Amino acid sequence: MWNKRLAKLATKYPTGVLSVADVGGYPASVRLVARLDTKRRVVTFPALPPYAQGWRGKACLLFHRHNSRLEGLHQMVLKGELVEEGGAVTLHVTEFVTANGQTKTDEMPHAERPIQLLQFLLLGRRKAREYERKRGEPWPPIDYAEIERLLHEDQ
């Protein structure tokens, strides 16, 4: 389903990463300029790289960015289908997915935004409990002494 707000945010990225499932038996990706057509609710590509010329079918388009301290993280993925229309390859979007579980922003949680951080904490704890429940036994105790030792090694 098209998400107007996330689509608007996606237009701010100069490039995205387009991926398909099978090129020589493995998934493959290229970075390219992507244009979101909000009227048609599709993504077009002004210059599809030669490597991706034959790509059709299920695909996804990742937008992400970070700064030189690996902060200011933003990321979202558009899932969809690559089809040929009028001689051009177009991504028909079926879903917008954010890594933060939100539908209004692609910004990853950060300590400077406590509400986002709290929402992420609640989501993560719930999901982790689900994982442990399926796992059948609780995660073994964490060796904090070893972690302390490694942190001291850094200093």
Partner 1 sequence: MSALQLPDEVAAVLRSYYTCEVTTVNGKGQPMTWPALAYYDEATGEIFFSVSIAFPVKAQNARKRPQVSLLYSDPTGSDLDQPPAVLVQGDATVAEILEMTPHVSALNKLARQRQPDSGRFQASNLSRRLFSWYLFKRIGITVRPKRLTVWPNRDFSQTPSVIAVAESEAADVE
Chain residues binding partner 1 by CB under 8 A are 17, 19-32, 47, 49-51, 57-60, 62, 64-71, 75, 77, 79, 97, 99, 111, 121, 123-128, 131-132, 139-140, 142-144, 146-147, 150-151, 154
Q: Contact at 8 Å (CB) between 34 and 52? A: no
As a residue count, the chain comes to 155
User: Whole-number minimum distance, CB 42 to partner 1, in Å?
Assistant: 18
CB 91 within 8 A of CB 61: yes
Runs of H (alpha helix) within 1-155: 4-10, 114-135, 144-154
Question: Which residues are CB-neighbours of 76 under 8 A, at least 6 positions away?
Answer: 6, 9, 10, 62, 63, 64, 96, 97, 98, 99, 106
Closest CB 68 distance from partner 1, rounded Å: 4
- Least separation in angstroms between CB 78 and partner 1: 10
Smaller CB separation from partner 1, 42 or 61: 61
Amino acid at 90: T
Phi-psi region of 3 (alpha: psi -120 to 50; beta: other; left: phi over 0): beta
> In this complex, which beta carbon is closest to partner 1, that of residue 8 or of residue 51?
51
H helices, E strands: number in the chain: 3, 7
User: Which CB atom, from 39 or from 143, has the smaller least distance to partner 1?
Assistant: 143
CB of 39 to partner 1, least distance (A): 26
Nearer to partner 1 by C-beta: 17 or 83? 17
Q: How far is the CB of 5 from partner 1 (least distance, A)?
A: 20
Q: Which is nearer to partner 1, 85 or 132 (CB)?
A: 132
